Amino acid sequence: MPPEAPAAALRAPFGERLAAARAARGSLCVGIDPHPGLLAGWGLDDSPEGLERFSLTVLEAVGAVAVALKPQVALYERHGSRGLAVLETLLARAADASVLTIADAKRGDIGSTMLAYAEAWLGEGRPLAADAVTLNPYLGFESLRPAIDLAAATGRGVFVLALTSNPEGRSVQHVGGDESVARSIALAAAAENAGAGPGHVGLVVGATIGDAARHLGLDLGSLNGPILAPGVGAQGAGTVELRAAFGNALPFVLPTSSRAILAAGPHPADLRAAAERTRDELA
């Protein structure tokens, strides 16, 4: 089944829209991670109602400050259909406010199942469609083809897991040394973006990886696409760590902070101040 080609005319390519948002708002991506502890810290119930209040408050407070918002899909799924309905509302409200969203779903499968995931998160008119979605390539990069192609057709983007900072990731991503799995994923993503002006295929690379990219021979500066870099703030990464991890690729990086900003809630003014402070520190 081919991608939804007619939808291409509905919006500019994701890379162009992201570049425009960065020029207007800076590069900080704010994660929306409604963990039970954060809900409690805000005085909210761990319920769909608390989830909605939390999510829409973050959108209101930091939507004009962040380059994008990244809701963690699992924390909505744990509330079942009512939690996913909250996510639908958040994505729709963000779109109405011209705030870019990255659904942190980490989907990955093969064939018709991968196509279904692609349609769910990237298809035109789908209730869960975001501006971009995170993908897991460990069934093979080419297994992601339905999502990569549909994203291009609908003016959306994908972020493919490449080099994460969790200790377990090394057992897969670092295998092969100079010909590592992580390097093969980065090369495949760069090939998708070749010849285009900012590409729609990004990578997820942890902000706390240190010199792992250089050690594995990843030329992240040649990606011609965005790099989502979780780990800023509560996980310990700041300007020094970002420079060490990304070097000349830093202009493509979207540093991502969640808990360090969200803990400043529940008052919108405090959330916005925390996001502005983080953004300015990383500039």
Q: Which residues are catalytic?
A: 106
Q: Is the dihedral of CA 120, 125, 128, 134 positive or negative?
A: positive
Distance CA 281, CA 228 (A): 18
Two structure tokens written together for 197: 């002006």
Axis crossing angle, helix 111-122 with helix 145-154, rounded to the nearest 10 = 30
The C-alpha angle with vertex 209 and arms to 205 and 212, in degrees rounded to 5, equals 95
Two structure tokens written together for 233: 């703030």
**β-strand pairing of 132-135 with 68-71:** unpaired
Adjacent-strand bridge partners of 79: none
Distance CA 241, CA 253 (A): 12
Find, among 32, 18, 80, 101, the residue nearest to 271 by Cα. Answer: 32
